[in-house]
């Protein structure tokens, strides 16, 4: 069954399943318990903080395990709202994930400066530099877009934020959820940004993710949620040791095994795009002819005719799974806010389909997708 909705969620990696079962069997105890079994669970958990630091950079104490990027966005922006000067404004891209936009609107209502972007949604360092010069007290920009796959120049922007304010710096929040597991993660933890991520996007279970605190500053007063003193006081609640084990196993496998083959899979994606445009004239692929870098796995296409819902239903009957964008908005029947931000007309946005591959996707799967699209195009008609 060709599955082309990996940006929504991924199947559980074998290594993640094995890690989860092993820890859940051997170290299921409460890490805060004053017993030898609890201490062993605590030692296990500490090794997973260390594993993230080894994989991504930074220090182990700068990583806070949580339920995922949605929680992370709300926790970080709530913290900013409490710490930044009264009335402070933040600069945000309109193409951020809906969860990040919701958190920004909640904690900085009426105090958001929207970062300009080009036709593909790329925010230039010059735009961020202008926002900082105008007084932005924080910047929010994702690494890779979950709908279009477009990559942002986040390393340069992280540098600008570090140097802002005469070297004092301003906080930078980067959602690396779609970057991790697809592109190399080494060094992410050393860029000085607040990072948020969800494990189920790269082979870990749903319900586990992390916040990475700024490099070199453990921010001891950052509290994601109050209560107990778990996660070094950053996030209350009994820690999910098995979930942390599975996340680190999945991410480690991606870093060691998968990302070295990204170039080959990008060629498969490019070949699919060329064939799709030739097979279905009038198809427009966001970012394809704009000279921008994109994730190797993602194609966001405006189909030449037919509502996206019809395409999805007919493809699903052929056991081919795709989507029309982010699952969190599709389930509500909402149009893609990303396409709206890119000034794609509403009539075209209703014809948009997202194809997102995974590490298990083969060249034959891409070919099967093209064949299925040809069949469905004939059924839907013009």
User: Would you say residue 6 lies in a domain?
Assistant: no
What is the per-residue pLDDT for 327?
Answer: 55
| Final residue of a structural domain among 257, 273, 301 | 257
**Interatomic CA distance for residues 214 and 292, integer angstroms:** 28
Q: Nearest-5° angle of CA 243, CA 214, CA 135?
A: 130
User: Would you say residue 4 lies in a domain?
Assistant: no
pLDDT level of residue 286 (50, 70, 90 thresholds): very high
**Three-class secondary structure of residue 304 per DSSP:** coil
73 and 151, same domain (yes or no): yes
33 and 136, same domain (yes or no): yes
112 and 238, same domain (yes or no): yes
47 and 105, same domain (yes or no): yes
What is the per-residue pLDDT for 333?
Answer: 55
- On whether the CB atoms of residues 70 and 98 are closer than 8 A, the answer is no
| CATH number of the domain bearing residue 351 | 3.90.1150.10
In this predicted model, what pLDDT tens digit does every residue of 308-322 receive, in sequence order? 999 999 999 999 999
Strand partners, 113: 91
What is the per-residue pLDDT for 146?
Answer: 97
CB atoms within 10 A of CB 12: 17
79 and 217, same domain (yes or no): yes
In this predicted model, what pLDDT tens digit does every residue of 356-375 receive, in sequence order? 999 999 999 999 999 999 99
Does residue 7 register a pLDDT over 90? yes
36 and 58, same domain (yes or no): yes
| CATH number of the domain bearing residue 104 | 3.40.640.10
233 and 317, same domain (yes or no): no
Tokens of 138: 């924080």
Mean pLDDT of 81-86: 94
Domain count for the chain, please give it.
2
User: Would you say residue 3 lies in a domain?
Assistant: no
Does residue 254 register a pLDDT over 60? yes
Mean pLDDT rounded to a whole number for the chain: 92
User: Would you say residue 5 lies in a domain?
Assistant: no
Mean pLDDT of 55-81: 96
User: Would you say residue 9 lies in a domain?
Assistant: no
Mean pLDDT of 184-207: 96
Parent domain of 269: 259-380
Mean pLDDT of 210-229: 78
| Final residue of a structural domain among 228, 257, 286 | 257
293 and 179, same domain (yes or no): no
**Closest CA relative to residue 135, chosen from 182, 202, 90:** 90
Residues in contact with 188: Cβ distance below 8 Å, sequence separation at least 6, in sequence order: 56, 57, 176, 179, 180, 195, 212
**Three-class secondary structure of residue 3 per DSSP:** strand
Tokens of 288: 């394809």
In this predicted model, what pLDDT tens digit does every residue of 131-149 receive, in sequence order? 999 999 999 999 999 999 9
The predicted model scores a pTM of 0.94
110 and 183, same domain (yes or no): yes
263 and 253, same domain (yes or no): no
212 and 345, same domain (yes or no): no
**Interatomic CA distance for residues 237 and 218, integer angstroms:** 20
Q: How far is CA 344 from the centre of its chain?
A: 22
| Final residue of a structural domain among 232, 257, 282 | 257
User: Would you say residue 1 lies in a domain?
Assistant: no
174 and 307, same domain (yes or no): no
In this predicted model, what pLDDT tens digit does every residue of 147-176 receive, in sequence order? 999 999 999 999 999 999 777 799 999 999
User: Would you say residue 63 lies in a domain?
Assistant: yes
């Amino acid at each position: 069954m060709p599955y082309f909705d990996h940006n929504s969620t991924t199947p559980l990696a074998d290594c993640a399943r094995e890690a989860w079962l092993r820890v859940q069997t051997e170290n299921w105890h409460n890490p805060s318990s004053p017993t030898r079994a609890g201490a062993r669970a605590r030692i296990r958990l500490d090794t997973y903080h260390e594993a993230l630091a080894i994989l991504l950079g930074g220090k182990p104490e700068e990583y806070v395990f949580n339920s995922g990027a949605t929680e992370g966005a709300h926790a970080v922006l709530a913290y900013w709202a409490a710490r930044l000067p009264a009335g402070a404004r933040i600069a945000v891209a309109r193409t951020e994930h809906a969860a990040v936009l919701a958190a920004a609107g909640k904690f900085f209502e009426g105090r958001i400066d929207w970062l300009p972007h080009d036709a593909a949604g790329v925010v230039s360092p010059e735009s961020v530099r202008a926002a900082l010069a105008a007084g932005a007290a924080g910047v929010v920009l994702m690494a890779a877009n979950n709908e279009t796959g477009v990559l942002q120049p986040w390393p340069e922007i992280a540098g600008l934020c570090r140097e802002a304010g005469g070297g004092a710096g301003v906080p930078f929040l980067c959602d690396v959820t779609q970057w991790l597991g697809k592109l190399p993660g080494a060094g992410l933890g050393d860029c000085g940004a607040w990072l948020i991520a969800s494990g189920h996007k790269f082979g870990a279970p749903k319900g586990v993710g992390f916040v990475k605190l700024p490099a070199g500053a453990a921010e001891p007063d950052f509290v994601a949620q109050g209560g107990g003193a778990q996660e070094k006081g950053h996030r209350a609640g009994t820690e999910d040791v098995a979930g942390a084990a599975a996340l680190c196993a999945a991410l480690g496998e991606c870093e060691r095994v998968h990302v070295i083959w990204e170039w080959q899979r990008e060629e498969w994606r490019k070949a699919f795009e060329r064939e799709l445009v030739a097979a279905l004239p009038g198809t427009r692929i966001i970012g394809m002819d704009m000279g921008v870098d994109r994730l190797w796995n993602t194609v966001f296409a405006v189909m030449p005719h037919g509502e996206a819902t019809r395409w999805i239903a007919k493809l699903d009957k052929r056991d081919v799974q795709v989507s029309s964008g982010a699952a969190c908005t599709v389930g509500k029947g909402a149009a893609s806010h990303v396409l709206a931000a890119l000034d794609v007309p509403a009539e075209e946005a209703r014809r948009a389909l997202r194809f997102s591959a995974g590490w298990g996707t083969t060249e034959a799967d891409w070919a099967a997708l093209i064949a299925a699209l040809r069949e469905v195009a004939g059924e839907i008609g013009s």
